[in-house]
Amino acid sequence: MDKLDAPALRSRIETFAQAQAIGRWDLGAASSNDSSVQVDRGEAKQMKAAQRSSITVRVWNGDGLVGITSTSDLSDSGLQKALAGAQDASAFGNPDDCPAFSPLATAPLQVLEQPLHEPRGILELLTSLKDAERQLLDRHPALTTVPYNGLAERSSERLYLNSDGACRQQQLTTASVYLYARAEQAGRKPRSAGAVRLAYGASDLDLAGCITEAADRTIAHLDYAPIPTGHYTCVFSPEAFLDLIGAFSSLFNARAVLDGVSLSSRSSLGQSLAVPFLSIADNGLHPGNIGASNFDGEGTPTRRLSLVEGGVLENFLHSEATARAFKVAPTGHAGLGAKVSVGPDWFEIGATPGAAGAALGLDRLAASSQGGAGLVLIDSLSALHAGVKASQGSFSLPFDGWLLQGGETRSIEAATVAGDIRSLLMAIVGFEGEAKVTPDGLCPHVWVEGLSITGEA
């Protein structure tokens, strides 16, 4: 991939802007090379390679209104047309929602340790994925196919420039592999599970760990049985709990608060949201976050932000515009647009340091699995987009997991967990084990009392 030349691009944009009498502008640019492969029973199913470049340009007119346009044409004529298009669009800008430059767009950035890797090439990726598929299928006779799989590598670059002198640039290489196996046995329903791994280069991917996890999780679901409908103490895996918090991230989103589509309001800050030993932070700079960026779409530096501490809601995620409305500093969670989006980077979830009660009741609850209704381990959640009503707080989600009862563990045939996120956060009784690094964040196993499980009719 040809490296984007930020100084040269700035010079060109400034020249074209002056020629068009544009005094205030900014842009975000991205370029990437992607290669990916998929296999099916030892044969190539899909092999793709793509080279992409794009620029998003914003222009402010004399009335302070902003227009925006995007292009993949990085030639002189393409940039000139993009500036002209954004300038024309600014006449139709929303006077009630005018973004501005982030006051932190020229602040120092934290240096990230992100080694750059040379691409292995699509044929090497294919060979590695074929071997991984074969090893996975060899783990158990019931494993018949790996219907969803992929191995990919990417070289990417992004930058942010504005007419006030901001100049941000980052290069990154990443790689990923996912393996989702399917097991079939005579007279039994097919069972599936999978695993994913990320790294800075394909040569650093933990293929062996991905194979083992996908096999173990799938095999563990072979001996399944229905679960009676009722209320259970549930243990969420780190991945499942992070998925749930991500689905309700509008709780922490200042844009959603201002738009009236969040459970939180301006007055929610400083109020209790969860049990007094829960801590939630957004930390895009965590070393475990493969693909981290040290600046957001507006050039604001990425930083760790405490969202919930001791169960109390402390901060919202902000862009420049929402931060201005709340009279605080931008937090580094913005996209780039006429109406700027806001979103989380990477969650850290666990016990508030020094808080009492983080392990409250675990011994009692563990003992409860020996009798009574039992204990439900929720391994993964499904249908998050369909089963979550974020603005209402409710969820009803199919899940894969196990029932621990009478000293035995058995996979659950089919079931749905339902509840309200606010009640769930108040029903957490503790954490178990070391926090695990996942693609979405850092989290231990989370114990929650009294969740509704719908199983056997």
Coil/strand/helix, residue 96: coil
Q: Report pLDDT digits (tens) over 184-228.
A: 999 899 999 999 999 999 999 999 999 999 999 999 999 999 999
Q: Which letter does DSSP use for residue 92 in this model?
A: G
Enumerate the β-bridge partners of residue 230.
453
Q: Report pLDDT digits (tens) over 50-66.
A: 999 889 999 999 999 99
Coil/strand/helix, residue 368: helix
Q: Report pLDDT digits (tens) over 326-338.
A: 999 999 999 987 6
| Percentage with pLDDT > 70 across the chain | 95
What is the token pair recorded at 150? 């992929």
Coil/strand/helix, residue 419: strand
| Domains and their CATH numbers in the chain | 6-218 (3.30.2290.10), 223-457 (no CATH)
Confidence of residue 343 (pLDDT cuts 50, 70, 90): very high
Give CA torsion, residues 251, 253, 254, 255, to 10 deg.
Answer: -120
Query: What is the reported pLDDT for 5?
Result: 82
In 163-190, the DSSP E strands lie at 167-183
Q: Report pLDDT digits (tens) over 34-54.
A: 999 999 999 999 999 999 988
Residue 203: φ, ψ to 5°: -70, -20
Q: Which letter does DSSP use for residue 251 in this model?
A: G
pTM given for the model: 0.93
CA nearest to 152, candidates 18, 275, 38: 38
> How many other C-beta atoms are found inside a 10 Å radius of the C-beta of residue 62?
9
Q: Report pLDDT digits (tens) over 270-322.
A: 999 999 999 999 999 999 999 999 999 999 999 999 999 999 999 999 999 99
- The single residue listed with the structure tokens 């801590």 is 279
Q: Report pLDDT digits (tens) over 348-380.
A: 999 988 765 555 445 555 555 555 678 999 999
Query: What is the reported pLDDT for 451?
Result: 96
Task: Give the separation between CA 75 and CA 71, rounded to whole angstroms.
Answer: 10
Amino acid (1-letter code) at residue 33: N
